[in-house]
Structure 1
Amino acid sequence: MSLSPLLQELITSLRVLPGVGPKSAQRMALHLLERDRQGAVNLASALEAAVEHIGECERCRNLSEQPVCGICEDSSRDRHVVCVLESPVDLMAVEQTGGFNGLYFVLKGHLSPIDGVGPDELGLDRLFALVEAGDVTELILATNPTVEGEATAHYIAEQLDESAVNITRIAHGVPVGGELEFVDGGTLAHAFAGRRSLRRGRDD
C-alpha cells in the first residue's frame, strides 16, 4: 500500500521508540491522526520543549532542566552516600521505592569496548573527582546485574581501591541478567538493604 509522504515520515519517526516496530508505529500514527489530533499536537509540543530544554545535571548526569537537578539540590538528602546507576530510568526505579535518601551518579551506559564505550563516555572522571573531594563515605554500585554491569562495577571498585570511601554492591535480590527498570519495588528495596562490600575483608 502506498502511503502519503507525511504519513510515512510519521510512522518512520515513531519507530525510534524502543520496542516499536512497523505495525505498532502505524497504529500509533493512525490513532493520532484519526482520533486524537489535539493529543498529537500536545505530544509534538512536549517533545520539542523537552529536547530543547532538558539537559544533564552537571553533578550527577541525570536529566535536568537546570544546571543542577532537584535531587542534588535537596538539602535533606544524605550527601555522604552516592548510588551509581546506569540510566535515568534506573534512578526513577530506585526513587519509587522510597528506600534511598542519598544522591546519585548516572553513567548513562556501561563499559563496552566493542561498542566504543569506555570510562570517558561514562563520565567516570567526574565520579572519581566527586569521591576524591572527600564528602562521600559510601559509594553504592547499582549497575545492572548483567555481564557488562558487573564489569563496570568491578572497574569502578578497582579504580577507587586506594580511596577511603566504602564501596558496596547492591545484593542480588535483583535477578541476574535483569535490568532495574523491570524489577518490582519490594525486590529492589531488599537488594539495597542487603548490599555488600566489594573490598576483600571489609564486608559488613
Structure 2
Amino acid sequence: MNQRYPSALLENAVNELASLPGVGRKTALRLALYMLRRDVGYTENFAAALVALRRDVKYCKVCHNICDDEVCSICANPSRDHSLVCVVENIKEVMAIENTGQFRGVYHVLGGIISPMDGIGPGDLRIDSLVRRVAEGEVKEIILALSTTMEGDTTNFFIYRKLSGYDVRISVIARGVSIGDEIEYADEITLGRSIINRTEFNLTSSNS
C-alpha cells in the first residue's frame, strides 16, 4: 500500500532523504518528521552544512584527498614522510588509516578500484597522477592498501605493472585484513599491524 502524506512538502523531503544510500522510506519519513520537530534554525544549519560541503569542499591537487585548501593538511605537513605513499581506494580509507596512528607517510586516493562488472577501468582512476608523482623522484616506496578482493588485487597488479620501470619499492599491506574485507571496516589494531608488517609486492602477492 502506498504511503499517503498530509503534505506535498513532507513527501518531497521523504523522497530526497530516501535517495540516500542505506536509507529506506520508513527511515526517511522518521528523519523528516524529526526535522519538523526541531526549530527552524537547526534545519537551516543542517541544510547549510550540506550545501557548503558540496559547494566548497576541494580535492588536494597532490593526493586527491578532500580538503579546505588547494593542498590537504597531510600533504602540507613537513613532518610527514613524503617519500612514503600509501595508495588507497577512497577517502574513507585515509580516515581509517589515520585513526590507527601508525602511518607517517602521505597518501594517494585512486577514487575507486578496477571493476569491469561496474564499468570501472584504469582510465577512470587516478593512476596516471600516481605515476607522475613517482616520476618526480621523491617517492621511494608505494604501499598498496586496497581492499583484499579480486578487484583490489587486479588494481594492485595494474599499478605494479605501471610502476615497474621506476626505481621505487612497491609493498602491500599484510593480510591481517581478511580476504574480501574492505579496509575501512578493519579494526584499528589490525589495520595498523597490516601496514607495519607490509611485505614487498610481487606477482604472487595477490594469491598469498
- Which residues of structure 2 form unaligned runs of 5+? none
- Normalising by the residue count of structure 2, what TM-score does the alignment of the two structures yield? 0.91
Amino acid at match of 2:24: G
Deviation at 1:36, TM superposition (A): 5.3
Q: Are 1:47 and 2:54 an aligned pair? A: no
Which deviates the most, 137-146 or 4-13?
4-13
In the alignment, what sits opposite 1:125? 128
TM-score of the superposition, structure 1-length normalised? 0.93
Q: Which residue of 2 aligns with 1:186?
A: 189
- 1:32 corresponds in structure 2 to 35
Percent identity over the alignment is 41
Q: Runs of 4+ in structure 1 displaced over 6 angstroms?
A: none
Q: Which residue of 1 aligns with 2:111?
A: 108
Cα deviation for residue 10 of structure 1 reads 1.2
CA distance in 2, matches of 1:179, 1:36: 39
Q: Which amino acid aligns with 2:46?
A: L
The answer to whether the Cα contact below 8 Å between 1:112 and 1:118 also exists between their aligned partners in 2 is yes
The CA deviation string for residues 141-173 of structure 1, in whole angstroms up to 9 with x for no partner, is: 001111111111111011111211000000110
Verify the 8 A CA contact 1:119 1:125 in the aligned structure 2: no
C-alpha distance in 2 between matches for 1:92 and 1:200: 29
Matches within 5 A, 1:1-204: 1-3=3-5, 4-35=7-38, 37-199=40-202
Mind listing any 5+ residue stretches in structure 1 that lack a counterpart?
none
How far apart, in 1, do the equivalents of 2:34 and 2:98 lie? Answer: 33
Aligned-partner Cα distance in 2 for 1:181–1:40:
30
Q: Within 1, Cα distance between the matches of 2:111 and 2:39?
A: 34
Measured after TM superposition, the shift of residue 67 of structure 1 is: 1.3
Instruction: State the Cα RMSD in Å.
Output: 1.6
How far has the Cα of 1:119 moved from its partner? 1.9
Q: Which deviations, in whole Å up to 9, do the C-alpha atoms of 1:110-154 show, x marking residues without a partner?
A: 112232322222111100010111100000000111111111111
